[in-house]
Amino acid sequence: MLRSKTEYPLDEVNTPQSPQFYIATKSAPVEDRVRVLKYGQIFAVFDRFGDITPVGMGEQGIFFEGTRHLSESALFLGNSSPLLLSSTTTGDNCVFTADVTNVDVTWHDRVLLPRGTLHLRRSKVLWAGACYEQVRIANYGLDPVRFPITMKFQSDFVDLFEVRGAHRAHRGQYLPPEITGDCVTLSYRGLDGVTRTTRLSFLPAPQHLTPQEAQFEVSLQPQEQTVLHFTIQCDRNAEVLPYARAFSVAKTAMATSGGHEQCDIESSNRSFNDWINRSVADIKMMTVGNPEPEYPYAGVPWFSTIFGRDGIIVALECLWTNPAFAKGVLRHLADTQATERVPERDAEPGKILHESRRGEMAALGEVPFGRYYGAVDSTPLFVVLAGAYYTRTADLPFIESLWPNIDAALDWIDHYGDQDHDGFVEYSRKSPKGLVQQGWKDSSDSVFHADGTLAEPPIALCEVQGYVFAAKRSAARLARLLGLNEKADLLETSALKLQEQFEKSFWCEDLGTYALALDGHKNPCRVRTSNPGHCLYTEIASPAHAARFSETIQKSDSFSGWGIRTVSTLEARYNPISYHNGSIWPHDNALCAAGLARYGFRSAASQILTSFLDASLSIDLHRLPELFCGLERRAGESPTLYPVACSPQAWAAGAIFMLLESCLGIAVDAPAKQVLFRQPCLPAEIPELRILHLRVAGASVDLLLKRRRDASVSIEVLAKHGALELLVQ
């Protein structure tokens, strides 16, 4: 029998994240290297064998539209689990493969079947709401063999939030299993009235089939092979294909969908190439097949859905290499922009989406995330992205179509975002089920004073003021393009006033940094954090204070050797194994690096890039996770992984592009048809870099960058098509 699903008996958990949203860790992970596949709204998390086991975090399974459709699955040779040889996912993230063999089969101290006689190659691929598996079995022994192969399975149909640890007082009804020929159908009728099904089909038909297992009798002559096929269908309306056809269409989709605007980047450092190639593949996997075109989902397993903030930041990270994501993100967020006040969703007119979820609990309102707006920063970031997209593409017709949404977002900033009309944008949740903290650090203990006391709302985060400053400057430029000069003047004046207020209220001279936030009484949270790095990114910081912050953030209490910590080791709530109070986030570091570079501190940006290059060497598949622990870097050791981090995570994958942009000082000005490099630098580890097929306003260019002995960078044009000017400062 397979083990039963994990039970979550607690109605409420006292945790840094509010009870429904904390990711519970009931036991230590047995195997930290899971394998992940995703296509559209279906994703799968397997162990390295290709099985699904209820161990560790309990995150393994096949999930579709927010529900786990297969909770346990295991392949047995006889009565034993096979012996793992190797497993991986292909470079395009399309196919999982595992090579396994038999253990020694003995009888009365006699080996009847020596270890390594049988070779099984398991291959899995996702396509259109189904998981397809092929098992190729070969006998490399000298004698004929006959043995049973059994696949055991179970479906719990739990909501993703239940997997994360939420307890539900009531659940729906499991329907009687149905067995017809070579198929088993498991079903569950939720409290939302939706019947969800998992249909398992087998080819050839198994000799023995029950609602929990399928058993095959396999006979092989020496050097003979045979093949078994399993299909797990989660979308009852999707067409089921033969394995070879599913494999072919999935590979084609991954190769041809999106990416037509993506430039190619390759270097003389193989490890850097491995990191960047995996990052490209991860972002594509998080995008291809989604019903929202060119919108990367946030991360697997916990956030495989639309997130406003995440999508915007991924688009900004990748903008210079591939502006298609920016257009897809802007289009969907404009379509879902709030138009009325809905307190239970934290929605207000003009506000941009935080996240949207499918699943039983979201449909019933047990969690508020069916369509939820509890983010203070996604609205100004939406405007920032719109301005950056125009500069990168010169796509004025799209900006014209988007202007009503930009204008509504600006109106939200001034009227709903600034609750007390003091000039700063702050937040306090309206929904009792919503997020307590509504910046990117959304753990409920992430905003605090020097003594560790939590800040009282409404809270004005430092980086949010930077986002608002950049949003108003961006909107002013767009308004002038549209002939709205009076509007542009007002926006520019408002931005400058905000900058002046910000410097007076947030700068902490003795700490050499900006305060994390102002609390509801306008008292500054005087703690050293990574948040001010975002203020440099948006250029709200004064040059003098940016220089001081650069010194502060590079000290060992903030820079661990692997990257910048979210919170300095000197602060009361520093905890290197927390989610937001001392951990290291690749996307956060990328924004800090970009900010440092904008004030001329390009060597600091280079140091951050190099630290993450080093981290990628020792992380499985060269895939940077959502975050890792903020422990000090120790010689000969790898970064300490955070136990429930998403991997892949889209904005972690996108970090490499912003880090590289920061080092190169590259800026694309499509309206002027220019590519500009400001004080470019390359780390010593990357002496040579090629940027190929960089497309700008109908033209394209191929570039070769080389690091000279004096650490300066030469730039050579290898090819150019169309009118495009290259400038180097």
Averaged confidence pLDDT in the chain: 94
- DSSP codes joined into one string, 124-156: EEEETTEEEEEEEEEE-SSS-EEEEEEEEEE--
d(CA 243, CA 134): 7
Options 1.10.260.40, 3.30.465.10, 3.10.310.10, 2.70.98.40; CATH of 35-256: 2.70.98.40
Find the DSSP H helices in 222-263: 243-256
pLDDT (average), residues 487-499: 98
- DSSP codes joined into one string, 339-380: -S-BGGGTB-TTPPP-EE--SHHHHHTSSSTTEE---SSHHH
Structure tokens at 365: 């309102």
Q: What is the pLDDT of residue 22?
A: 63
Q: What is the pLDDT of residue 30?
A: 44
For residue range 437-485, list pLDDT tens digits in order.
Answer: 999 999 999 999 999 999 999 999 999 999 999 999 999 999 999 999 9
d(CA 649, CA 24): 19
Least confident segment among 13-22, 323-332, 352-361, 561-570: 13-22
More confident residue, 112 or 85: 85
CB-based contacts of 320: which residues, under 8 Å, 6+ apart? Answer: 392, 657, 661, 666, 667, 668
Structure tokens at 538: 């948006």
Would the pLDDT of 544 be above 50? yes
pLDDT (average), residues 535-553: 98
Overall pTM surpassing 0.85 (yes/no): yes
Return the sign of the alpha-carbon dihedral for residues 601, 604, 608, 613.
Answer: positive
Q: What is the largest CA-CA distance in the chain?
A: 92
Q: Tally the C-alpha atoms within 13 A of residue 723's C-alpha that lie toward its C-beta.
A: 5
More confident residue, 23 or 671: 671
* Domain regions of the chain by residue span: 35-256, 275-664
Structure tokens at 237: 């309306």
Would the pLDDT of 29 be above 50? no
For residue range 272-322, list pLDDT tens digits in order.
Answer: 999 999 999 999 999 999 999 999 999 999 999 999 999 999 999 999 999
pLDDT (average), residues 362-384: 96
Q: What is the pLDDT of residue 112?
A: 77
Least confident segment among 59-68, 103-112, 114-123: 103-112
CATH code at 275-664: 1.50.10.10
Q: What is the pLDDT of residue 12?
A: 32
For residue range 224-280, list pLDDT tens digits in order.
Answer: 999 999 999 999 998 999 999 999 999 999 988 766 789 999 999 999 999 999 999
Beta strands in 27-109 (DSSP E): 35-39, 42-46, 61-64, 67-70, 72-77, 83-89, 95-101, 105-107
Would the pLDDT of 401 be above 60? yes
Is beta strand 225-233 parallel, antiparallel or unpaired with respect to 95-101? unpaired
Q: Which uninterrupted H or E stretch holds 535?
A: helix 532-537
Query: Do residues 714 and 706 lie in contact, with contact meaning Cβ atoms separated by under 8 Å?
Result: yes
Q: What is the pLDDT of residue 14?
A: 35
